Structure 1
Amino acid sequence: MHREIIPGFDGRPLNVFHSGFSPERRNLMLVLPFGVRHAMAERLCEALAPHVNLVTWESRFVLDLQDDAREDDFDVDYHVRDLVQVAAHANARAGHAGATDVIGYCSGAGISLLAAARHPGAVRRLALVSGEFMLKPSVCRPSSFQREVDVLLPAAAASKDMASVLFDKISSGRSAPQSEFHDFISVPFSSAAHLHRYGLNYVAYRQVDFLNEARAVTQPTLVIATRSDRQVTPDSAHIILSHLTDATGVHEFDGDHYELCRAHPDMTHALLQFFRTESARSGVSS
Structure 2
Amino acid sequence: MPPPGASPRLLDSALATLGERFNVLSWELRCIAGSPPRNGLPSVACESDMHVGDCIGLLDRYGWPMEGLCCIGYCASAPLAMRLAVARPRLVTRLALVSGAYFLPPDVAPQTQYERDMRRLVAQLAAGPDAVPELYRLCMDSQRVRDDAPAFEQALRYPFRSVAVLHGYALTLAALQRIDTRRLASRIAVPTLVYAARTDRVAAAAAAQTIANLLPAGCLTLAAAGEHHDFPHANPAVVDAVVDFLTDCNVTDCCGAPS
TM-score by length of 1: 0.79
Is 1:36 paired with 2:6?
yes
Aligned match for 2:16, one of 46, 54, 63: 46
Deviation at 1:130, TM superposition (A): 0.5
Counterpart in 2 of 1:214? 185
Does the CA contact (< 8 Å) of 1:214 and 1:243 recur in 2? yes
Distance 1:50 1:193, change over 3 A: same
Counterpart in 1 of 2:120? 151
Is 1:125 paired with 2:125?
no
Between the aligned partners of 1:260 and 1:252, the Cα distance in structure 2 is 13
Aligned match for 2:212, one of 236, 241, 245: 241
Stretch deviating more after TM superposition (54-63 or 131-140) = 54-63
Between the aligned partners of 1:253 and 1:244, the Cα distance in structure 2 is 22
Q: Which amino acid aligns with 2:116?
A: R
Between the aligned partners of 2:136 and 2:207, the Cα distance in structure 1 is 30
Q: Which amino acid aligns with 2:47?
A: D
Is 1:268 paired with 2:239?
yes
Stretch deviating more after TM superposition (38-47 or 179-188) = 179-188
Aligned match for 1:84, one of 56, 59, 69: 56
Deviation at 1:42, TM superposition (A): 1.3
Larger helix proportion of the pair:
2
Structure 1: runs of 5+ lacking an equivalent? 1-30, 280-284
Does the CA contact (< 8 Å) of 1:241 and 1:247 recur in 2? yes
Aligned match for 1:192, one of 117, 142, 163: 163
CA displacement, residues 14-50 of structure 1 (integer Å, 9 cap, x when unaligned): xxxxxxxxxxxxxxxxx11101123111111221111
Distance 1:85 1:235, change over 3 A: same
Is 1:57 paired with 2:27?
yes
Structure 2: runs of 5+ lacking an equivalent? 251-257
CA displacement, residues 85-123 of structure 1 (integer Å, 9 cap, x when unaligned): 223334x16xx4523111110011110011101221221
Larger strand proportion of the pair:
1
CA displacement, residues 197-232 of structure 1 (integer Å, 9 cap, x when unaligned): 111111111111110011110011011001221111
CA displacement, residues 105-162 of structure 1 (integer Å, 9 cap, x when unaligned): 0011110011101221221100000111110111101111111111122312432210
Between the aligned partners of 2:231 and 2:72, the Cα distance in structure 1 is 10
Counterpart in 2 of 1:142? 111
Is 1:224 paired with 2:195?
yes
Distance 1:172 1:97, change over 3 A: closer
Aligned match for 2:136, one of 159, 167, 176: 167
Distance 1:172 1:230, change over 3 A: closer
Does the CA contact (< 8 Å) of 1:47 and 1:263 recur in 2? yes
Q: Which amino acid aligns with 1:138?
A: D
Q: Tell me the SS of whatever aligns to 1:249.
A: strand
Deviation at 1:273, TM superposition (A): 1.2
Q: Calculate percent identity across the aligned residue pairs.
A: 26
Is 1:250 paired with 2:221?
yes
Q: Which amino acid aligns with 1:100?
A: L
